[in-house]
Each structure stands twice: as C-alpha cells, then as structure tokens.
Structure 1
Amino acid sequence: MSVLSKINVHRRNIMRNLTKNVGKANIQDDFILVDKSEIKKVLICRPNGRLGNLLLITPLVQEVSEMFPNCKIDLFVKGTLAPIIFEKYDSVDKIIHLPKKPFKSLVEYSKVWISLKKAHYDLAINVDQNSSSGRLAVQFSNAKYKFFGDSIDESAEQKNDFEHIAKYPVYNFRNFLSKLRLPTNSNKIIAPIDLKLSASEITEGRKKLKEITDNDKKTICIFTYATGAKCLSEEWWEKFYSQLTAEYKDYNIIEILPVENVSQIGFKAPSFYSKDIREIGSVIANTELFIGADSGIMHLSSAVHTPTIGLFSVSNLKKYEPYDNCSIGIDVNLYTKKKYIKTINTILNNGRLNGLSKAI
C-alpha cells in the first residue's frame, strides 16, 4: 500500500470515529408519518464516485420511489457517473456531486455543502452508516425526517442476505419507516440492481456484439481486470480461459476491456472497449453469461440482468456478490475446474442456484 493510500485509510478511520455518533439520538420516536404524500422531496446521500458503489444504491432508489410514488429524489454523490447511471430513473431529479479532489476544488466543494442547507427536503437518507460524509450531509440538511443509515432492528440483521451492501440499506430504511409508524413489508424481496437500459440501447448492444462475433452463436463474456488485490493473475486467467475455450466450443467467448485497456489473457479473445458505461452494459446484456472478478463491471453486468459469476479472492463475498437472475459469487480459493464447469452449466441451462454450493 502506498504512503498516500495509508494516509487516506487513516483519515477515513479518524472521520468515522468522529462522526459515528452523528444522528444517534435522532431516532425520531416522537414523529409519526401519517400521510405518504407528505414526502415530496427526498435526499439520498452516497458520497462515493465508484461505478459499483453507485450501482449498488439502485435498489434503495427503487424502494424509495415505490414507497413514495409522488416524490422526487436528489442524489448526493461524488464524481460524474451518477447522471449516466440514473439517466432512466424518472424519480431522480437532481444529481449533487462533490468534486473528486475537494482540496483542489475548495470553492466548489463548499458550494455543494451550502446548496444542501438551502434546499428543502422532506426526507434525507444516508445509505451507508459508515460513511462520514453521508452522515454529515443528512445532519446538515434541513429535512424533517432524517435517517442516518443505522440498523435499528436486530431482527433485520438476522436475515440471511442482510450483510449485502445493496440490501442492508433497504432493510434498515424499512425499519426506519416502521419507527415512523408507516406500514412496510419487511419480507418483500429486495429489488435487483438496475441500470434500466432502454429497448433501443439493448438493440444497439446486440448490433455491436454481432460485429465482434460475426456469427449467431451464444456468447460468454469475461472481464479479466480488477483493482488491486482483487485482480487475479495472468497465470490464473490464462488457465481459466483455456478451460473455457475447450469446454464451450459452441459459444463465443469475448472479453470486455477495462478503461485501462489491458487484458490478463494477452488480448487472445475477441474484445470490446468503450468508456461509455451504458454502451458496455448494452453489450453485456446480450450475452448469456458474464464471468469476472469483484469490480464495477461485475456490478454493471448484474445491473443489466445478465447471469453473473463473480470471482472473489480477497473481497467479502456475502457483502458484494451478484445476487439476481441466477447469479452467484464464488471463492476462487475453494473452486476446482469441475466446480467451475458445473456452475457455468447450471446457469447456461437456466438452472436455479439456490443451494448450488452445497450440491457441488
């Protein structure tokens, strides 16, 4: 880890300790939300600019939109990806984004925080209870109802999927609403991660895929890159790619390239490169299966509803694994060639993956 990275980790730990009690006394037991139509303007705070983390809040955005169908949502985030990700979300009104490097943009940084104070919100929500900036943004807002992201019901934590980063914010939000005496269905299935591709975008993706493969065979898509320790070695990918090409001769195998334009298999497979997130998603949406390590592109695959195999070596699998549409996260440290093939075959044959790991 570089010196700057160590400093950044230390800074985040200090900020979390300083802000962990912000809002703790604000459970609002004395408030009762009688009329859902009272909630017309909502602020959702996730001051993070990573592709995966932004995609992972789409289930919460869907939950809020469904609970308060007449509301408009502002998103407090970082970077410039959010307008692209939430382009098709009619309920999302304004994207408020912090600059990626606040100390180099102090004036802009200050203006963003001032704008939060000036705006009127009926409800403010912090997505991640461990986000210092998220907690502060909710506290700084003038919303009547403020939810800081904390778990306030132990029964929710007992759910098998509570640990997932896309799901526990929804469970915690439901519990918060119950504290406001608002009826919720705590057992309702959490919505999938969703980019909301249009029919025309999917059609264009099909055309691009056809240009790559130049045949009518079905396609398996791989993504061989990931950041830091999550990135599997070239040796690992070379072996895995050889297994795929030997086992699935009736399928095209293409590689989605990262923005860095690198390949862990030396560009041996036909590949697709783009910096347009929605364009990448449209191509993946037309494939039968996506296989890749824990990354933003893995979550993008989930968000376009392509069955996804997430390859985990160091990340918390229960927290980040793809969970919808026959998708699964697997620990590469525990898998053999036979297990990979059986998992892939199950998905390609539209089998359900419930209990699959026990059956293998």
Structure 2
Amino acid sequence: MGVLNKINVFRRGLMRNLTKNIGKPKSESGIILVDKTEIKRVLICRPNARLGNLLLISPLVKEVAETFPNCKIDLFVKGPLAPIIFENYDVVYKTIHLPKKPFKNLLEYINVWISIRKQPYDMAINVDQNSSSGRLAVRFSKAKYKFYGDLENDRQQTKSDYEHIAKYPVYNFRHYLTKLGLKESNKIVEPIDLKLTPFELSEGKKILSTLNSNNSKKTICIFTFATGTKCLSEDWWENFYTSLKNQYTDYNIIEILPIENVSQIAFKAPTFYSKDIREIGSLIANTEIFIGADSGMMHLASSVQTPTVGLFSVSNLKKYEPYDNCSIGVEVENCSKNDYFKIVNGILNNGRLKTYSRAV
C-alpha cells in the first residue's frame, strides 16, 4: 500500500471515530411530524462516487418521494455520475458534489458545506451510518428532522434481507419515521432503477442489432471484468464462455467492456464499449440476461430490470447481490457448471417478471 493510500485509510478511520457519536441519541425526543406535507425539501447524503453505490440509493429516493409526495430531494454525493443516474427522477431537484480530492480543491470543498448550511431543508437523511461526511452533512444542515442512519435495538434481525445495502437504508428510514409518529410501512423495498425512457430503450435496441449477426436470436450479455480481487481469472472466464457458447447455441452472446477496455476472454465475443452509462444500460435492457461479477456494471444491469446473475468470489453476497426480476447472486466457489446452467435456464425459461416497455 502506497503512502497516500495509507494516509487515506488513516484519515477515514480518524473521521469515523470523530463522527460516530454525532446525532446520538438516535431518536428525536418529543418531535412529532403532524403533517407530511410540511416536508418540502429533503437532503439525502451519500458522499460516494462509485456507480454501484449511487444506483443503490435509488430505492431510498423512491421511498422518500412516496412518503412525502410534495417534496424535492437534493443529493449530497461525490463525482459526476449522480446527475446522470437520476436524470429522469423529477423528485431530484439538484445534486451537491464533494470534490474527490478536497485538499486540492479546498475552496470548492468549503463552498459545498456552505451551500448545505444555507438551504432550509425540512429533513436530512444520511444513507450509510459509517459515512463520516454523511453524518457531518446531516449535522451541519439546518433541517428540523435529522436522521443519521443509525438503527436502534438490533432491529435488522426482524428482516431476513436487512443486510442488503439497497434495503437497510429504507428499513432504517421507515423505523426513524415511527419516532416521528408515523406508521411503519411493510411494503416490499423497490428495485434499483435507472428510469430509462422509451427513446433510450429504442436506441439500445438499435445498437444491439448492430452487434448481432442474427437478430432473430435473443441475447445473453456478459461482463468479464471487476475491480481488484473481485475480478475472476482469464482461465475461469475462458472456460465459462466456451461452455456458455456451447450450451446456448440459440442465443447471441455479447460482452460489455469496462472503461479500461479489457476482456477476460480476449474479445472473442462481439463487444460493446461506451463511457455513457445510460447508453450501456439501454443496451443491457434489450438483452435477456446479464452475467457478471459484483461490480457497478452488475448493479447497472439490475437497475434496468434485466435478470442478473452476480458472480461473487470475495464480496458479501447478502449485502450486494442483485435482486428483483429473477436476479440472483451466486458464490463462485460453491457453484458447478451444471449449477450455472440450471440458474440460467430457470431465468431464460421464466422470462422477465416485469420489464421496461420495449420498442417494437
């Protein structure tokens, strides 16, 4: 680990220790929310720049919008992706971005915190209780109602899927609302959602038709890359791709390439490369199934409601697995080729439980 990385790890650990008690006690004693229509401006804090982590807050955004139908939401994030991801969310008013390197952009960094302080938010919500910047933003805001992401009394044990990173913020938020006198919802947590338009879907279909030599066949989409130890070896992918190709001769197989423009199968399948995540999503939305390791691309596939098979080797499956619409996470070490084919066959035979309207 380099010196800068060590400094970063130390800084994050220090900030977590300094901010872990911000907002405690967790409940706001004596504060009751009488009228939900008084919540007109909400700040949701997820200061993270990763594609997957930003997509994974969309269920919470939808939950807040449904709970407070008259509200507008500001997102406190990092990086340039949030405006693209939430482009078609009318409820999202604006995104506030922390610079990735605050010490090199000190004036911008200070202005972000000033803007949070100036805005008269009615409610501020921190998504991840372990985020020091998120906790600070909630504390720094002038919101009347402040939720720091904490949960009391080990309530996670009451939900079998509580560990999932897209779901526990929703469960925590629902429980927080009971402290304000509101009834706790028992609805199923919404899927993550990129909210593609019919035009985007139509364009994705056109792109897909240029990749396939036989457009009468349906398409299987694979993504062979992932960061760090999550990336499966070239040998693993070569064997898997060969078996997949032999098993599904009635399907086209395409590979989505990462921004690094590399392939673990040496570009043997027709490939698609783009830096536009909505364009990539529109293409994946026109395929029958997506297969890839735990990554932002896996969550992107899930967010366009394409049945997704997530391949897990080191990540926490319960925390990150794709869900909804026949999607599933599998642990590579415990899965044989026959197991994969059973899973894929089950998805292909059942089809989509729900889908975007596809262009004719």
Query: Per the shorter chain, which TM-score range?
Result: over 0.9
Q: Secondary structure at the match of 1:347?
A: helix
CA distance in 2, matches of 1:257, 1:250: 23
CA distance in 1, matches of 2:243, 2:83: 39
1:121 CA drift (Å): 0.2
Q: Say whether the 8 Å CA contact 2:73–2:93 is kept in structure 1.
A: yes
* 1:211-360 mapped onto 2 (5 Å cutoff): 211-214=210-213, 215-350=215-350
1:175 CA drift (Å): 0.3
Q: Say whether the 8 Å CA contact 1:41–1:72 is kept in structure 2.
A: yes
Q: Deviations over 1:220-277 (max 9, x none)?
A: 0000000001011111100100010010000000000001100000000001000000
CA distance in 2, matches of 1:26, 1:161: 23
- Aligned match of 2:189: 190
The change in CA–CA distance for 1:85 and 1:289 in structure 2 (over 3 A counts) is: same
CA distance in 2, matches of 1:3, 1:298: 32
- Aligned match of 2:199: 200
The change in CA–CA distance for 1:122 and 1:299 in structure 2 (over 3 A counts) is: same
CA distance in 1, matches of 2:241, 2:331: 17
Q: Is residue 166 of structure 1 aligned with residue 166 of structure 2?
A: yes
1:3 CA drift (Å): 4.1
1:14 CA drift (Å): 1.8
Q: Is residue 11 of structure 1 aligned with residue 11 of structure 2?
A: yes
Q: Say whether the 8 Å CA contact 2:33–2:181 is kept in structure 1.
A: yes
Q: Deviations over 1:336-358 (max 9, x none)?
A: 111011111011111799xxxxx
1:24 CA drift (Å): 1.1
Q: Which amino acid aligns with 1:57?
A: I
Q: Say whether the 8 Å CA contact 1:346–1:352 is kept in structure 2.
A: no
CA distance in 1, matches of 2:3, 2:238: 32
- Aligned match of 1:134: 134
Range moving further from structure 2, 2-11 or 307-316? 2-11
CA distance in 2, matches of 1:303, 1:352: 14
Range moving further from structure 2, 81-90 or 10-19? 10-19
Q: Say whether the 8 Å CA contact 1:59–1:194 is kept in structure 2.
A: yes
CA distance in 1, matches of 2:274, 2:94: 26
Q: Which amino acid aligns with 2:20?
A: K
CA distance in 1, matches of 2:351, 2:98: 43
CA distance in 2, matches of 1:310, 1:26: 35
Range moving further from structure 2, 147-156 or 261-270? 147-156
* 1:110-149 mapped onto 2 (5 Å cutoff): 110-149=110-149
Q: Secondary structure at the match of 2:53?
A: helix
Q: Say whether the 8 Å CA contact 2:306–2:352 is kept in structure 1.
A: no
Q: Is residue 209 of structure 1 aligned with residue 208 of structure 2?
A: yes
Q: Say whether the 8 Å CA contact 2:307–2:352 is kept in structure 1.
A: no
Q: Which amino acid aligns with 1:148?
A: Y
Q: Which amino acid aligns with 1:15?
A: M
CA distance in 2, matches of 1:277, 1:252: 22
Unaligned runs of 5+ in 2: 354-360
Range moving further from structure 2, 196-205 or 153-162? 153-162
1:153 CA drift (Å): 4.9
1:12 CA drift (Å): 1.5
Range moving further from structure 2, 145-154 or 40-49? 145-154
Q: Secondary structure at the match of 1:102?
A: coil
CA distance in 1, matches of 2:27, 2:291: 42
Alignment root-mean-square deviation, CA: 1.3
Q: Say whether the 8 Å CA contact 1:48–1:77 is kept in structure 2.
A: yes
Would you say how many aligned residue pairs link Structure 1 and Structure 2? 352
Q: Say whether the 8 Å CA contact 1:86–1:92 is kept in structure 2.
A: yes
CA distance in 2, matches of 1:81, 1:317: 25
Q: Secondary structure at the match of 2:172?
A: helix
CA distance in 2, matches of 1:253, 1:10: 44
The change in CA–CA distance for 1:23 and 1:80 in structure 2 (over 3 A counts) is: same
The change in CA–CA distance for 1:330 and 1:76 in structure 2 (over 3 A counts) is: same
The change in CA–CA distance for 1:171 and 1:74 in structure 2 (over 3 A counts) is: same
Q: Say whether the 8 Å CA contact 1:258–1:273 is kept in structure 2.
A: yes
Q: Secondary structure at the match of 1:104?
A: coil
Q: Which amino acid aligns with 2:83?
A: P
Unaligned runs of 5+ in 1: 354-360
CA distance in 2, matches of 1:32, 1:219: 52
The TM-score normalised by the length of structure 2 is 0.96
The TM-score normalised by the length of structure 1 is 0.96
Q: Is residue 53 of structure 1 aligned with residue 48 of structure 2?
A: no
- Aligned match of 1:67: 67
Q: Which amino acid aligns with 1:77?
A: V
Q: Secondary structure at the match of 1:175?
A: helix
Q: Say whether the 8 Å CA contact 1:290–1:308 is kept in structure 2.
A: yes
Q: Say whether the 8 Å CA contact 1:26–1:146 is kept in structure 2.
A: no
- Aligned match of 1:81: 81
